[in-house]
Amino acid sequence: MALLLLSLVLCAVPAGAVASGVRVPATSAGEAGRFWSAGRIREAKPLEVTSPSAVLARRGGGERGAPRRIAGVAPRRADFGADFEQVADPAAPGFRIHGAVFVSLGIFGYGRCSGTAVHSGNQSVVFTAAHCINSGGRRGRWEKDRWTFIPAYRYGQRPFGAFPARWLDTTRQWRMSGSENFDVGAAVVGRNQRGETLEEAVGGAGIAWNLKPQQTFDVHGYPAEEPFDGETQRICPATPFIGHDPDSFLFPGPLNLAVTCEVNGGASGGGWIIEGETLNSVTNYGYFDDTSPDFGAYFGNEVARLYGRAARVK
């Protein structure tokens, strides 16, 4: 089975995918866990798209190719270690692959987003929004300091530990243009305090691209603005695709997706799951005058390339 999955992953990696992104200075899980104290997490502000599609892209990548799926995988351990406090729902199967992302912004404080563990050969890939990793455009700034994924986070509890990033990347078009139609990023994380890989600890969602936009999604995330507090995982279950944002037509890349889900800041990067286990979009943005609907990037060829690069990181 493992061989089958591995071959599936290797076949799925698009030809020509090259390693890129940025390496993150090594941080141990223990150090990351200590750094992200309850106080710092409380201070963390949601990361937002700073300049929506500030500069428009110069080249392609938005074409739709053949649909492709990579199956998810269950965690190696079914029970939680005694070292970790058990929490209720976020740690349950199907939810534990989703978590909160925290990052230090230097003198600007701390930022937060959401993310989802995705199955890959290196067992350590997290998908999130690109703006949770890089501010976008040609002058985009990498947000890599203390970038840490905490799956199933709840009220300070980290039932599966903290996973500091080792490598970060976004779609190339996000870094070239800042077009929100390409607002997807990926991280490869280190092991947790118990020495487990992310996939050993929580499993990983499958991932699919080039599917029809007309899907029904379970939208996960950690919204942190009123009336939410970012301390619990939220879900909008079985919310169908309702259309595209008119703004999306003006910018390069595949038209984005809209669903009805009242998320707000902090939920950026939260996974959109189809058929119970397959990641097919992530939360990108909403509008200040109305938090519903929620907009997410379409997973096309550029996301496939990003996945390929992340999966190749050793």
Identity of the residue, 54 or 105, whose beta carbon is nearer to another protein in the bound complex: 54
Decide whether 5 or 54 has the Cβ nearer to another protein.
Answer: 54
| Shortest distance in whole angstroms from residue 118 CB to another protein | 25
- Taking CA atoms, 9 is separated from 29, 91, 121, 232, 241, in Å, by 27, 26, 7, 32, 27
Q: Tell me how far, at minimum, the Cβ of 248 lies from another protein, in Å.
A: 8
- State in angstroms the smallest separation of the CB of 16 from another protein: 15
Name the minimum Å distance from CB 195 to another protein. 40
Concatenate the DSSP letters of all residues of the chain into one string. -HHHHHHHHHHHSPTT----SEE-----HHHHHHHS-HHHHHHPEEP--SSTT-S--SS--------EEE--B--S-SSPPTTS---SGGGSTTTTTEEEEEEE-GGG-EEEEEEEEE--TTS-EEEE-GGGTB--STTPPB--TT-EEEET-BTTB-TT--EEEEEEEE-HHHHHH--GGG--EEEEE---TTS--HHHHH-BBEEEES--S--EEEEEE---STT--SSS-EEEEEEEEEE--GGGGGSSSS--EEE-----TT-TT-EEEETTTEEEEEEEEEETTEEEEEEE----HHHHHHHHHHHH--
Question: Cβ(117)–Cβ(73) under 8 Å?
Answer: no
Q: How far is the CB of 185 from another protein (least distance, A)?
A: 18
Closer Cβ to another protein, 34 or 59, answer by number: 59
Which of residues 155 and 287 has its CB atom nearest to another protein in the complex? 287
**Residue 180 CB, nearest distance to another protein (Å)?**
9
Identify whether the C-beta of residue 204 lies closer than 8 Å to the C-beta of residue 119: yes
| Residues at the contact surface with another protein, assessed by CB under 8 A | 48-49, 52-63, 242-247, 249-255, 258, 260, 264-265, 285-293
Give least dist CB 303 to another protein, A. Answer: 15
Q: Which is nearer to another protein, 17 or 55 (CB)?
A: 55
Residue number, 159 or 252, with CB nearest to another protein: 252
Beta strand 278-287 pairing with 206-209: parallel
Distance in Å, CB of 175 to another protein, minimum: 15
* Closer CB to another protein, 30 or 243, in the complex: 243
Measured from the CB atom, the residue of 27 and 181 that comes closer to another protein is: 181
Closer to another protein at the Cβ: 140 or 161?
140
The set of residues, in sequence order, having a beta carbon less than 8 Å from that of 203 and lying 6+ positions away, is: 72, 73, 74, 75, 93, 96, 97, 117, 119
Q: In the complex, what is the shortest distance from the CB of residue 129 to another protein, in angstroms, rounded to a whole number?
A: 13
